[in-house]
Chains A and B, each alone.
Chain A
Amino acid sequence: MAIKDMPIEECMLAGNAACPGCPATMALRVVLKALGKNTIMTVPACCTAVIESLYPDTSFDIPVMNIAFEAAAAAASGIEAALRKQGKTDTTVVAWAGDGGTYDIGLQALSGALERGTNFIYICYNNQIYSNTGIQRSGATPYAAWTTTTVGGKTEFTKKMGDIIQAHHIPYSAQACISFPEDLYNKVVKAKNIKGPKYIEILAPCPPGWRFSMDRTVEMGRLAVDTGAWALYECEHGVVTFNGKSKLILEKKVERKPLEEWIRYQGRFSHLFKPEKNVKILSMMQEHIDQMWERYRKCFQ
């Protein structure tokens, strides 16, 4: 699927309230093209609650139900059950949440919905922070990143959400990135056509949160994949396949760029470069990525 072949129809409307350069809006546009209008979405507290715009207006051309921070997956279970009772089994039910609502406060409801086999797609757009409330740490915030609640840099590595999801033995899960819209589109279409619980996580580089210039959103996503900080893969019934650049990296057909290539453009890591380069922390972070890829090769190649 090339970008030019995606449906012209837009479910994400113009005039929404997103920040300039917002990756969530880019992801929503592609995801909604893939889902089409026969879709009902539930959205917990997250940036998308702002992107939706103010009552009585909306920037969505599909029915959307807002719900509390930790409740997206449970609400989706309810919507799906109601539709099943009404015989509307062709409508796609989607929970669309940020990483805070997924990795942290929403984890229990998500786990419950996956375990009981709710027929829905849970999509996490991961901007690695609580961005709706400002820039606070989440379980997805990388090691050493500055946030307003990790002022000296975060002291923990991110939760391995992909592993947690795969432990639920669901038919489909995937990682994508806003910078690779064709890959994202294909994954959403694939998920839409599988019955049962599906999980897709989309890396969404946030200009105000990561402290980079708003014209570099796509570039930040590409660099995350090029450096191996983020991997594009999908897991179908337990079988993991890497996609695009990540596949080439896994097969060692392409060298991973040094992690520094990604983080040096982000103000949230600027304390690692001044007054002088913090070689110790940088090499620790690089080592963490290296180990992650060693594990990927061992487990999934």
Chain B
Amino acid sequence: MTIMIDTGNYIAAKAAVMAKPDVVAAYPITPQTTVVEGIAKYYSTGEYAGEYICVESEHSAMSACIGASAAGARTFTATSSHGLLLMHEMLHWAALARLPIVMCNINRVVGPGWNIWADQNDSISQRDTGWIQFYCSINQEIFDTVIQAFKLAEHKQILLPVMINYDAFVLSHTTMPADIPDQKDIDHFLPRYEPQWKLDVHNPTTFGNIILPQAYFKVRKAMQDAHEHAKKMIPKINAEWETITGRSYGGLFEEYRCEHAEHILIASGALGAESKIAINRLREKGMKIGLARLRVFRPFPTEEIIRYAEQADLIVIDRNISIGNEGAMCTEIKAALYEKSDAQVTGFVAGLGGTDVTYKDIEKMCTQAVQGKAKSGAWYGLKEDV
């Protein structure tokens, strides 16, 4: 094990290379660019021994990944914001084709105007594509999740693409230390990909031809079943990773000081890491509050949400907004609780467009919610005079 002190993107590139993909197809976009540059560097030195395709667009990046994955390759790519949206059609295609492609998406604003800072609206708007979605809180977790994602995606009962999201600049360009396990430990955890089916001249099969309604219906149900299964597999894979590295992120949630909590804060991404400091300070002040950092948005952890609501009222901070409604995570949490719980859910929209959200801000939001002074759907930190 070695310590790598680097930005989230270079740590993601390191993880991708150590997962030994056969094919990487990628296109640069701020703030993802250093991920693909990192892989290109490893490619030039031979540390990455797979194929590297410099495509002419993100749409083609995902299309090339689909072709490669269908031909039996372990496949990786990375993108952000507009790049992710340009891939949108092929995200559906990859998921319906049940291809275990792994992709890092660096959560960034969608224009106009041009803004390259953190915001989850890019990946939240891809939630119905069938991709499993992780949200990371620190650079170490980015590394660990990339490795875990391949194992999850390629599992025989999953076979779905996985998107690993993390915040633009807050993580992508911020240097933090990460423990890098030995390659042999990673190889043991993540053996070579053995596809159950592939494009094979010795067993000619046509994939993706015309499909009648009932068969299509069945395909969709199979995807849903795979997501349900992923809810069980994610904690299991996390536990297995813990035996090798000693690091655990829980499963679908990372719980922090939730014992005897009367309020539980739910946040994701880097806000989730920042929230831990806020929780410590609020606990010191005697507030019975804990944090459930949401790691996985798809599949949505409905059962855990219900469990938290049995114990406490919920406070939700969303770094995204489903325009016309409220933060997407908040909506889904409320929906999960319908007819199951009468716990209070107080949702905040904060940090859009890379607006800074510090532990002090999180403390304020929590205090307002606990004191019943906040109306759910409130926009925190919005300055009217800008």
Give chain A's interface residues, CB within 8 Å of chain B.
37-40, 42, 49-50, 52-56, 58, 60-68, 70-71, 73-86, 91, 108-109, 111-112, 115-116
Which residues 129-167 in B have Cβ within 8 Å of A in the complex?
A: none
26 A/B residue pairs, CB under 8 Å, sorted by A: A37-B204, A40-B71, A40-B201, A63-B201, A63-B203, A63-B207, A64-B204, A64-B206, A64-B207, A65-B70, A66-B208, A70-B59, A76-B67, A77-B64, A78-B67, A78-B70, A79-B67, A81-B25, A82-B72, A82-B73, A82-B75, A84-B51, A85-B22, A112-B55, A112-B60, A116-B56
Which residues 160-212 in B have Cβ within 8 Å of A in the complex?
A: 199-201, 203-212
Q: How far is the CB of A206 from chain B (nearest CB, A)?
A: 19
Contacts of B54 in A (CB 8 A): 116
Contact of A65 among B25, B65, B67 (CB under 8 A): B67
Contacts of A60 in B (CB 8 A): 204, 206
Which residue of A has the minimal Cβ distance to B212?
Answer: A54
**In the bound complex, do residue B63 and residue A74 qualify as a contact, i.e. CB atoms below 8 Å apart?**
yes
CA distance A292 to B68 in the complex (A): 41
The tally of CB-CB contacts under 8 A between chains A and B is: 164
Q: How far is the CB of A274 from chain B (nearest CB, A)?
A: 38
Contacts of A71 in B (CB 8 A): 59-60, 63, 66, 90, 93
- List the 3 shortest-distance A-B pairs measured between CB atoms, nearest first: A78-B67, A66-B208, A112-B56
CA distance A76 to B60 in the complex (A): 10
**In the bound complex, do residue B209 and residue A54 qualify as a contact, i.e. CB atoms below 8 Å apart?**
yes
**In the bound complex, do residue B68 and residue A55 qualify as a contact, i.e. CB atoms below 8 Å apart?**
no
**In the bound complex, do residue B210 and residue A81 qualify as a contact, i.e. CB atoms below 8 Å apart?**
no
Q: How far is the CB of A111 from chain B (nearest CB, A)?
A: 7
CA distance A86 to B23 in the complex (A): 11
Given A37-B201, A37-B204, A54-B209, A77 contacting B53 (CB threshold 8 A): yes
**In the bound complex, do residue A52 and residue B210 qualify as a contact, i.e. CB atoms below 8 Å apart?**
yes
Given A40-B71, A63-B199, A108-B57, A78 contacting B210 (CB threshold 8 A): no
- Cβ-based interface call for B89 (8 A): yes
CA distance A162 to B177 in the complex (A): 54
Contacts of B25 in A (CB 8 A): 74, 77-78, 81
**In the bound complex, do residue A82 and residue B23 qualify as a contact, i.e. CB atoms below 8 Å apart?**
yes
Q: Which of B54, B66, B211, B215 has the most CB of A within 10 A?
A: B66
Given A55-B210, A63-B204, A77-B53, A40 contacting B66 (CB threshold 8 A): no
Contacts of A49 in B (CB 8 A): 209-210
Q: How far is the CB of B25 from chain A (nearest CB, A)?
A: 6
Contacts of B72 in A (CB 8 A): 82, 86
**In the bound complex, do residue A85 and residue B67 qualify as a contact, i.e. CB atoms below 8 Å apart?**
no
Contact of B204 among A42, A62, A82, A108 (CB under 8 A): A62
Q: Count of B residues near A, CB < 8 Å?
A: 42
**In the bound complex, do residue B93 and residue A54 qualify as a contact, i.e. CB atoms below 8 Å apart?**
no
Contacts of B70 in A (CB 8 A): 65, 75, 78-79
**In the bound complex, do residue B22 and residue A78 qualify as a contact, i.e. CB atoms below 8 Å apart?**
no
Q: How far is the CB of B180 from chain A (nearest CB, A)?
A: 24
Contacts of A73 in B (CB 8 A): 60
- Cβ-based interface call for B50 (8 A): yes
Contacts of B93 in A (CB 8 A): 67-68, 71
- Cβ-based interface call for B69 (8 A): yes
CA distance A111 to B54 in the complex (A): 13
Q: How far is the CB of A184 from chain B (nearest CB, A)?
A: 22
CA distance A135 to B200 in the complex (A): 35
Contact of A63 among B53, B59, B200 (CB under 8 A): B200
Contacts of A108 in B (CB 8 A): 56-57, 60
**In the bound complex, do residue B71 and residue A74 qualify as a contact, i.e. CB atoms below 8 Å apart?**
no
CA distance A14 to B356 in the complex (A): 64
Contact of B206 among A50, A58, A68, A76 (CB under 8 A): A58
Which residue of A has the minimal Cβ distance to B203?
Answer: A63
**In the bound complex, do residue A52 and residue B60 qualify as a contact, i.e. CB atoms below 8 Å apart?**
no
Q: How far is the CB of B222 from chain A (nearest CB, A)?
A: 14
Q: Which of B59, B204, B209 has the most CB of A within 10 A?
A: B209
**In the bound complex, do residue B206 and residue A82 qualify as a contact, i.e. CB atoms below 8 Å apart?**
no
Contact of B212 among A55, A82, A111 (CB under 8 A): A55
Contacts of B204 in A (CB 8 A): 37, 60-64
Q: How far is the CB of A53 from chain B (nearest CB, A)?
A: 7
Contacts of B206 in A (CB 8 A): 52, 55, 58, 60, 63-64, 66
Contact of B63 among A40, A83, A86, A109 (CB under 8 A): A109
Contacts of A50 in B (CB 8 A): 210
Q: How far is the CB of A35 from chain B (nearest CB, A)?
A: 11
Given A74-B60, A109-B63, A115-B56, A66 contacting B209 (CB threshold 8 A): yes
CA distance A80 to B67 in the complex (A): 8
**In the bound complex, do residue B207 and residue A81 qualify as a contact, i.e. CB atoms below 8 Å apart?**
no
**In the bound complex, do residue A54 and residue B211 qualify as a contact, i.e. CB atoms below 8 Å apart?**
yes
Contacts of A85 in B (CB 8 A): 22-23, 50-51, 73
Which residues 1-25 in B have Cβ within 8 Å of A in the complex?
A: 22-23, 25
CA distance A207 to B66 in the complex (A): 34
**In the bound complex, do residue B56 and residue A55 qualify as a contact, i.e. CB atoms below 8 Å apart?**
no
**In the bound complex, do residue A63 and residue B205 qualify as a contact, i.e. CB atoms below 8 Å apart?**
yes
**In the bound complex, do residue B201 and residue A38 qualify as a contact, i.e. CB atoms below 8 Å apart?**
yes
CA distance A52 to B210 in the complex (A): 8
Q: Which of A53, A74, A115 has the most CB of B within 10 A?
A: A74
Instruction: Fill in one digit per residue for B322-366: 1 if any A CB lies within 8 Å of its CB, else 0.
Output: 000000000000000000000000000000000000000000000
CA distance A82 to B60 in the complex (A): 15
